[in-house]
């Protein structure tokens, strides 16, 4: 099971990102645990400078925009 965290203060882009990941995971039939991290101290502890950012299994894989579908798919393998 993949542990995925979406980092962001709760802006629309972060919500869209989380939803997109859920969708793609469901399409691919991959089990994920998705957490939305909105606590600033925790967000910055990952060292990201722009949100939404995505953390997969403890590693930051994306930051600063809504990722595209292909990109999301590449994390869910």
Partner 1 sequence: MNVHPIAVYSPHRTVWIYVIASLFAWLGIYFNLAALTDAAFSMLPLQRDTPMGDAVHFFIFDTPKVLLLLTLIVFAMGIVHTFFSPERTRALLSGRREGAGNVLAASLGIVTPFCSCSAVPLFIGLLTAGVPLGVTFSFLISAPMVNEVALALLFAMFGWKIAVIYLGLGLTVAIAAGFVIGKLKMEGHLEDWVLAIHRSRLQIEGIRKSWPERFVEGGRSVREIVGKVWPYIIAGIAVGAGIHGYVPEDFMASIMGREAWWSVPLAVIIGVPMYSNAAGIIPVVEALLAKGAALGTVLAFMMSVIALSLPEMIILRKVLKIRLIAVFAGVVACGILLVGYVFNAVL
Per-residue DSSP letters for the chain? -EEEEEESSS-HHHHHHHHHHHHHHHHHT--EEEEEE--HHHHHHTT--SSSEEEETTEEEEESSPPPHHHHHHH--
State the binding string over 58-77 for partner 1 (x if CB under 8 A, else -). Answer: --xxxxxx------------
Given 26, 31, 40, 57, the residue binding partner 1 (CB under 8 A): 40
Q: Using the rule CB under 8 A, give the single segment among 17-25, 27-35, 47-55 that binds partner 1.
A: 47-55
Residues near partner 1, by CB under 8 A = 8-9, 11, 13, 40-41, 43-51, 60-65
């Amino acid at each position: 099971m993949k542990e995925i965290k979406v980092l962001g203060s709760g802006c629309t882009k972060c919500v869209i990102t989380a939803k997109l990941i859920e969708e793609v995971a469901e399409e691919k039939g991959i089990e994920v645990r998705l957490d939305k991290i909105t606590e600033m101290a925790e967000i910055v502890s990952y060292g990201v400078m722009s949100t939404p950012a995505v953390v997969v299994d403890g590693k930051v894989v994306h930051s600063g925009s809504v990722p595209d579908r292909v990109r999301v798919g590449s994390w869910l393998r």
